[in-house]
Each structure stands twice: as structure tokens, then as C-alpha cells.
Amino acid sequence: MGIIPANTQLQTTIYVDPEHDYVTLKITTNNDTVIKSVLVFSEGIFEGESHVIHPKDNELSGSLEIPIQPPKDISVDLHVKAFVGNKQTNHQYHVFELTRTLPKFSMYILVSDPATITRPDSGITFTVKERIQREGFRKVLMWINQNFLLDEDINVTGNELEVMFICQRTKTPLVIKMDASNQVSILTTNMNTAGEILQSLASFLNIEHLNVQADFKHEMKELGEILTKVDEYHTVRQRLTADMADHSNLIKSMVVRAEDARLMDDLGSMKKYYMELYDLNRDLINGYKIRCNNHTELLSYLKQVNQYIQKAGKLRVGKYKTQVIADCRASVKNNNVAALFKIIKTGSV
């Protein structure tokens, strides 16, 4: 018969393997039934928002592993539909439906021996406010256990907390620390990662406004190089604009001379002026193409600068986030690089 046993259950496990750059969803049955196929629906994870695993008939078993690679740190629900049947028949299957939640930071794996990993020399620090100091440790631990894929919940017996993870996308370390004075440090070389961690933790702790001290040497060096490029392209843009204005004036003058020569029946001069006009027009078109390319490159670098400003804002919460973004944009407008770096680091001018 094709009917499966009444006690058949579908069991799921989500884990991340250090050898792979993806999260694995493992689905198994609790008896000798087999899984014909699995459909996983999830927004923002799969192309077309769905993924199907369909083993060959001679490879059917009671266990199936599905690789999942979140493109960014997001918490999503995985809606699973599995077709389960007996080994003896291949035309009747029971459909199991279940939902599993993928934690926001599922692509980070806990490091069991932090001494073997070089600690990041960049990151942010801030202090949890008085109102939740008494239970700060408990809440931060609860947040870690809920937002990371862990084999078992983390527990701390002393008055200090320090955990290290490795991001499976970039293979870079992430350290989360909290001392007895409730000072929290998030150490990572990636500003975006620090921002995602901070925003998630602040939301969990119900922190409305928060400023931090940030130090990202490598990314600030990259930002400095980008700003240098912006200055170079802006200088070239001004020169090209001046050249185009000069060419336009020459063209206007040449048109008048050529027309005067035509009216005076001086065909030789008219031909000469129109030849010069042709060359000027060609130079003007070439200059315009160069200016367009320069403008495209300038916009590209300005977009990168804006991305850094957005990342700096994401390192703050509430009114401090709004203020940092506004101050950063003002410093860029005034070409004050030193002030920009100070704002990103301290949150104020």
C-alpha cells in the first residue's frame, strides 16, 4: 500500500558547516519512509522566491540536505513542503508542510577556540544605559542565542562576555564583548557588519538613541582614496567645462566670419572658416564625450562616498544616526575631509 505510517514525522535541522559558504537545511523522516521532493519558499533567498530539490528515483532516502545562501544578513521564514512516501511505491506521497525561521546572522559560525584566530583591530564601542544595566548581560546573551546559529545556547558564569564568530561569506572574524561596566564592543573589519549587528542589538534592547565610537582604519583609508579620486575628477570636470565654453565662443565667432565671407563672395575665406569650424565642432564633440565619461566616473565615486556615509549612519541609532548623516554630507559639500573622518569616528564634528 502507498499509505505511510501514521506516526511519520518530518524533522528539520539548520546548521552551518565551516567547510562551506552556505547554511544547510537538513530534512529527515523518523522511519523508513523516503522523501520524494522538497519545495522551499522564502522571500529574498532564492531566485523566484522558491527552490526545489528532486532526487532521482534510485537515490531516494529518508534524508535530504538543501544548501541555503542568504545574500545578506536577514531573518526569513523558510516555508517547506516535503513529499514523503513508502520505499515500495512511487505513486502516492503525503505532503508535509512546516516553517522554520532562519536567524538574521545564520552565516556566522561560533569559534570554539578564539585564541587561534587573529582579533580584528577595527570596530565600535558603546555603553548600555543605566536602565537595563542590571539585566544587560542576560539580554545580550538572549539576543546572541536568538540571532546566531548555535549548537547550544551560550551561558556566561562571570561578569564578562566575549564570543567570536567567523563569517562564512568573507571568512573574517567577528567579536562581541561586554564587560562588567556594560561597555559593549563589536569588533569587525566591515563597517556594514558592525552596523547590522548594532541595529539588531539596539532594537532588541529597545534603545532609542545611541552614539558609538568607531574605528575602521582600512575602510577609512579606502574612503580617503575615493575622496582623492573625487577631487581629481571634479578638477578635470571644471577644466573640461571651461574648455567647452571657449570652444563655444570660438564656434560662434567662426560662424559669423564664414557668413560674412559668403556675403562678400569671398569663397576661399568662407571655405577656410568652415573647415576650421568643422575642426572646432569635432573637438567640441570629443570634449563632450570626455566630459560625459568624467561625469559618469565622478557620480560612481560620489555614490561610494554616500555609501560610506550611510554605513556611518547605521553605526548610530535614533537622533544620532540622523545627525551623523547630515554632518557627513555637510563636510563633503565643504570639502572638509578631516571633519568627515572625525564625524564617522566619534559621531560629532
pLDDT at residue 80 in the model: 92
The three-state secondary structure class of 183 is strand
Q: Which residues of the chain have pLDDT under 50?
A: none
pLDDT at residue 2 in the model: 58
Q: Say which CATH topology domain 108-207 has.
A: TATA-Binding Protein (3.30.310)
CA dist., res. 114 & res. 116, Å (int)? 5
CA dist., res. 304 & res. 298, Å (int)? 10
This prediction has a pTM of 0.80
The owner of cell 517547506 is 80
Q: How many residues does the chain have?
A: 349
Strands 63-68, 108-110: pairing is: unpaired
pLDDT at residue 90 in the model: 64
Domain ranges of the chain: 10-102, 108-207, 217-346
Query: CATH second-level architecture of 10-102?
Result: Sandwich (2.60)
pLDDT tens-digit profile of 144-163? 999 998 888 888 777 788 89
